[in-house]
Amino acid sequence: MSEIKLKGTPLSPGLSYGYAFTYKTIPFEQRNIVIKTKDVEKELSRLKDAIKKTRESLEKLKDRTKKKLGEEKAGIIEAHMLMLEDPMFIQEIENTIKEGHSAEDAVYTATMKIKKMFEDIPDPYLRERAADVEDVGSRLFRNLLGAKDLESIGREESTIVVASDLAPSELIAISGNNVVGLVLLHGGPTSHMAIIAKSLDLPAVSGIDINTISDNNIIIIDGTKGEVTINPSPETLSQVKRKVEELKKEQEEAMSLKDAPAITSDGFKLKLWGNIAHPNEVSSVLSFGGKGIGLFRTEFLFMNRNNPPSEDEQFEAYSKALAEMNPNPVVIRTMDAGGDKEIFYLNIPKEDNPFLGYRAIRIGITEEGLLLTQLRALLRSATYGNLYIMFPMISSLWEVKRAKDLLRKAARQLKEEGIEQGSAKIGIMIEIPSAALMADELAKEVDFFSIGTNDLTQYTLAVDRGNAKISRWYDHLHPAVLKLIDMTAKAAKKHKIELGMCGEMAGDPLALPILIGMEFDELSMSPPAIPKIKRLTRKTSLGRAKEITQKVLLMKDATEVRTFLEEMTSQL
């Protein structure tokens, strides 16, 4: 077969090659297939085989989860396995088959019935089991249809997963299983799937016609350029193998500087921190030489459950991250729900433009109890380390003042109840153009700014960051975005507050000279990006970075900016 090269959207940087593993998402839904009486035994036999296969795949997943995330998280998979032994669940499926329904429809009907029973239980712990029932039911459903499970990836050879889309949980399930890359149809460069792919150091490209790829095709994926090569020629594959080895050596060189400071050749000190979504990820930041957490995305504690986490549950998560990173800072962002991060128990009505709708701080200052509980947990956890509290999606001055009022209220409550609490620095995300334009006034109210370039770019350029079809319009190096960042940086320096960045731009090597030139105090990124950014920082100078920044701010086109920065960084 001849070599085919496809151009898509870069999601996660890196270069890799391997064999294709095609994965198709199958909706878990009623198929309305009626069977004859003579086929009942056949359907029961199919069910028995599917249960056996599901149990085996869960056993493998439990072992991997235990190795990667520990005994506690493996217990979740253990609960799923026990569900397969539940007489009520299995009997309900068998009875539905005997009533003349296919095994697939019987699994769906029984799953939804028992899920509803759990959802109606007053006890919150038991209510959460509803999600476990649906997970087990959907696994059985896929196995009945003969669909491949991601857990079935078990090749010794390097594997590239090819799929329409992947949920973050699915991506985590396959990580470390000899998967070296992702080729997807859907997904934008700042989607949560892309963010997790970066944290796992997995090259990924979206916007690819996956129907052109078959199982076991050899694939080359360039996540930096957004290119996918199918059935490469021996010459192309040889060149890529050499390049992969070169990149490994570069990474080893960067890792050798893990414990060295991120300081320019003329003495400018830059703090490099990591982004996390769970306290267990603190160790990853430390392993890559990060000296703090610049973004703890707390909304992931609120997702995939039937009720919000309690104050004590949140306190445990926050205090664990703070204690492990102590005395280095941990920036914990209050819940940034809404947009592409659905939390079903909030009962947010479907919106035509969810990214412009009821989300983040707008939920927090409306659903005061939700934010107040989180702020109480944060203040309690502050005794364990160096806490920074950050409010997201700020567009106006009154929102900051209202959020601070709620923080003071939380502190008063804890004091009156005699509960120990600590202190924290207070900051906001600059991710809406109005906040950047109002930065001079907002800086008077807070201790730090952290620029969220993912949303700032999206809102400035009116480009949906999750839409691969219009991704070429999305560019954080657009002159308009850079001018807003410069405006924010100047306001922070004027009022002598800390200036950071936690968007994907923070880990972009091309953007580094600009960010040094604007004298950012800290950059927070996906942990695997830290060593490379540190190595490049030590190769540049503040003086040279300022010269580059001045020239860039006069440019009128993103392509001009990008071409110029590529030339400048190639000289480092």
Binding residues for phosphoenolpyruvate: 297, 333, 454-455, 465
Record the tokens describing residue 66, joined without a space. Answer: 């235990």
Distance CA 363, CA 380 (A): 22
Name the nearest CA neighbour of 330 among 390, 288, 280, 374: 390
Put residue 279 in one of left, alpha, beta given phi > 0 → left and psi -120 to 50 → alpha.
alpha
Question: For 317, what's the count of Cα atoms within 13 Å in the CB-facing half-sphere?
Answer: 21
The DSSP code for 384 is G
Distance CA 182, CA 79 (A): 30
- Binding-site sequence positions: 297, 333, 431, 454-455, 465
- Are the C-beta atoms of 464 and 355 separated by less than 8 Å? yes
In one-letter notation, the amino acid at residue 217 is: N
In one-letter notation, the amino acid at residue 271 is: K
Per the residue annotation, which of 101, 192, 476, 478 is the catalytic one? 192
**Positions of E strands within 126-279:** 159-163, 179-184, 204-206, 218-222, 227-230, 271-276
DSSP 276-297: ESSGGGHHHHHHTT--SEEEEE
Q: Is residue 157 packed enough to be buried (19+ CB in 10 Å), middle (13-18) or exposed (0-12)?
A: exposed
Instruction: Report strand pairing: 227-230 vs 218-222.
Output: antiparallel
The DSSP code for 322 is H
- CB atoms under 10 Å from CB of 458, counted, come to 24
Name the nearest CA neighbour of 140 among 77, 80, 60: 80
187 bridge partner residues: none
Distance CA 113, CA 134 (A): 10
- Are the C-beta atoms of 527 and 504 separated by less than 8 Å? no
Distance CA 9, CA 485 (A): 24
Per the residue annotation, which of 101, 186, 478, 502 is the catalytic one? 502
- Are the C-beta atoms of 448 and 388 separated by less than 8 Å? yes
The DSSP code for 101 is B
- Are the C-beta atoms of 428 and 390 separated by less than 8 Å? yes
* 478 labelled catalytic: no
- Are the C-beta atoms of 165 and 25 separated by less than 8 Å? yes
In one-letter notation, the amino acid at residue 364 is: G
Distance CA 280, CA 278 (A): 5
Q: Which residues are catalytic?
A: 192, 502
